[in-house]
Chains A and B, each alone.
Chain A
Amino acid sequence: QSALTQPASVSGSPGQSIAISCIGTSSDVGNYYKYVSWYQQHPGKAPKLIVYDVTTRPSGVSTRFSGSKSGNTAYLTISGLQAEDEADYYCCSYTNTDTYVFGTGTKVTVL
């Protein structure tokens, strides 16, 4: 159950689009077609679900957040980057042992 691999940091200017990758294996991201989720965490706060089922946004989450997947890698794209998007982001996948595994986390900086 090794953590999924994410880049430590990604940055972009306001209005730009950025993508965060989440690399897993055939035992997790690549095995279960839809069971990938993404979380946003601001400093000192609890995480918040922003994408589930690879591509679905919960009610109230901005349409600027979108998810996708190809093989063993999932992606979170943030379009029209805004200052409030500066936070840590984590992916998470269901695994073939009926457990879950989180990614290593990515710090997004808005320049």
Chain B
Amino acid sequence: EVQLVESGGGLVQPGGSLRLSCAASGFTFSSYWMTWVRQAPGKGLEWVANIKEDGSERYYVDSLKGRFTISRDNAKNSLFLQINSLRAEDTAVYYCTSTNVAAAGLHWGQGTLVTVS
């Protein structure tokens, strides 16, 4: 069974930093692109970034470039999202997903809540 478990969220002050993690199991992690998607309270889904199987390519939504960094460790079946210079508008649930070109979110984690206040 595919499992994606996010962690690292919490309450952080504006201007602070946070590193989110996603532990993957039940599939060959190193064979999949991986993605972060976020959802502000009461709002819709927003695609944030994705990373190629071997980490050699990364793409970001334009509005977040420079503050967000996606990375992965295939030896540990883990995905990461480093967020710097946090703003109130970054408050959201952050989801980790496995990805292929046909679907940004093949499988989803339960999400981790980041609150900037």
Contact of A100 among B44, B104, B107, B109 (CB under 8 A): B104
The interface size bin for chain A is 20 to 34
Evaluate contact between A46 and B50: CB separation under 8 angstroms: no
Instruction: Give the top 6 A-B pairs by smallest Cβ distance, nearest first.
Output: A52-B103, A37-B103, A105-B44, A100-B104, A46-B108, A100-B47
Interface residues of B (CB under 8 A from A): 35, 37, 44-47, 50, 59-63, 95, 101-111
Interface class of chain B by DSSP: strand
A 25-57 binary contact with B (CB < 8 Å = 1; else 0): 000000000110101010000111100110010
Given A47-B105, A47-B108, A94-B102, 4 other A-B contacts at CB below 8 A? A52-B102, A100-B50, A104-B44, A105-B44
Evaluate contact between B104 and A37: CB separation under 8 angstroms: yes
Q: Given that A37-B105, A52-B103, A92-B104 are contacting pairs, would A99 and B44 also be in contact in the complex, using a CB cutoff of 8 Å?
A: no
A 80-98 binary contact with B (CB < 8 Å = 1; else 0): 0000000000101010011
